[in-house]
């Protein structure tokens, strides 16, 4: 009897690990998951074929698990707050050795270093869009709700500045109101940046979420889903702009329903 091909999953928080597992299994793959404690959803245990729970600093355990499971290719999905790397982080010897060698400890640099260690162990990290074509947002208005003239001006203003910041590796999200920056995403993540902008700038903000020109698609992709919409509703935001072909729209039905109900526009440029 033929056995299913194996693919690995490194799972952080949110819906993306679950979506990937379902899509991989639909294609006949057996999903072997290294789930990060404190981040990954417990429901992965029902969805995936094999799940091993590890802490964020257990690089050696991750590599051993993939070797034991015969994983040669893997995908990394789900949110892990960069701030967790600086709070009560416990590293195994493999991770400690890696950490001590790094001069740049930004999120991207850390992930590239992890990918390098996996590669040396015979595990290739794949593009996060692997098997996820249905979630990639296409160009145009995703909602019937459209931006009005004042928001169109904010979009042009925000896109120009968001792309500069993305090129410099300073967050994916910029929130604007009129011709002023209300918030820039930091370690707190997109949703907190949107809520912070609403607190300080008041109703009517527009979020701009873009990829870096040097985006490494093995690690991250700008993502929009119900959780971000809830933050926008709370902030009384007018809308959000993402990049077509470079962003995920997850739980599409619920996300668009929330947007329409609250007269929030979603535009992919």
Question: What residues form DSSP beta bridges with 184?
Answer: 174
Q: What is the mean pLDDT of residues 65-88?
A: 80
Tens of pLDDT, residue by residue over 19-42, are 999 999 999 999 999 999 988 999
Q: How confident is the model at residue 4 (pLDDT cuts 50, 70, 90)?
A: confident
Q: How confident is the model at residue 1 (pLDDT cuts 50, 70, 90)?
A: very low
Q: Which residue has the higher pLDDT, 160 or 81?
A: 160
- Measured CA distances, 125 to 20, 100, 169 (Å): 14, 23, 21
Q: How confident is the model at residue 106 (pLDDT cuts 50, 70, 90)?
A: low
Task: Give the Cα separation of 170 and 201 in Å (integer).
Answer: 21
- The CATH architecture one would assign to domain 6-125 is 3-Layer(aba) Sandwich (3.40)
Question: Residue 11 — φ and ψ, nearest 5°?
Answer: -110, 125
Q: Which two tokens stand for residue 176?
A: 């604007």
- Give helix 93-101 / helix 107-120 axis angle, nearest 10°: 130
Task: Give the Cα separation of 220 and 218 in Å (integer).
Answer: 6
- In this prediction, residue 81 carries a pLDDT of 57
Provide the whole-model pTM.
0.84
- In this prediction, residue 180 carries a pLDDT of 96
Q: What is the mean pLDDT of residues 1-16?
A: 87
Q: What is the mean pLDDT of residues 60-85?
A: 86
- Is pLDDT of 85 > 90? no
- Is pLDDT of 86 > 60? no
Tens of pLDDT, residue by residue over 128-150, are 999 999 999 999 999 999 999 98
Q: Which two tokens stand for residue 180?
A: 């002023």
The reply to whether 136-268 shares the fold of 6-125 is: no
Tens of pLDDT, residue by residue over 155-174, are 999 999 999 998 887 888 99
Question: How do the domains of the chain map onto residue ranges?
Answer: 6-125, 136-268
Q: Looking at the domain covering 136-268, what would its CATH class be?
A: alpha beta
- In this prediction, residue 87 carries a pLDDT of 52
């Amino acid at each position: 009897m033929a056995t299913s091909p194996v693919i690995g999953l490194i799972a952080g928080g949110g819906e993306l690990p679950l979506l990937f597992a379902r899509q991989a299994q639909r294609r006949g793959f057996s999903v072997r998951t290294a789930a990060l404690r404190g981040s990954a959803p417990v429901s992965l245990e029902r969805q995936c074929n094999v799940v091993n729970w590890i802490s964020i600093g257990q690089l050696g355990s991750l590599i051993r698990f993939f070797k034991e499971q015969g994983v040669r290719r893997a995908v990394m999905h789900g949110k892990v707050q960069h701030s967790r790397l600086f709070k009560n982080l416990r590293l195994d010897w493999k991770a400690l050795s890696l950490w001590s060698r790094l001069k740049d400890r930004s999120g991207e640099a850390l992930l590239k270093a992890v990918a390098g260690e996996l590669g040396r162990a015979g595990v290739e990290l794949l593009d996060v869009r692997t098997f996820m074509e249905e979630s990639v947002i296409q160009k145009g208005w995703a909602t019937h709700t459209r931006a009005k003239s004042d928001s169109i001006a904010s979009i042009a203003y925000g896109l120009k500045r968001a792309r500069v910041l993305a090129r410099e590796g300073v967050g994916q999200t910029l929130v604007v109101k009129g011709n002023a920056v209300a918030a820039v995403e930091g370690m707190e993540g997109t949703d907190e940046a949107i809520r912070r902008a609403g607190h300080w700038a008041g109703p009517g903000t527009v979020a701009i979420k873009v990829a870096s020109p040097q985006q490494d698609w093995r690690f991250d992709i700008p993502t929009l889903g119900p959780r971000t919409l809830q933050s926008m509703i709370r902030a009384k935001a007018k809308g959000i702009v993402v990049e077509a072909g470079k962003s995920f729209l997850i739980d599409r039905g619920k996300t668009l329903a929330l947007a329409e109900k609250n007269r929030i526009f979603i535009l992919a440029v």
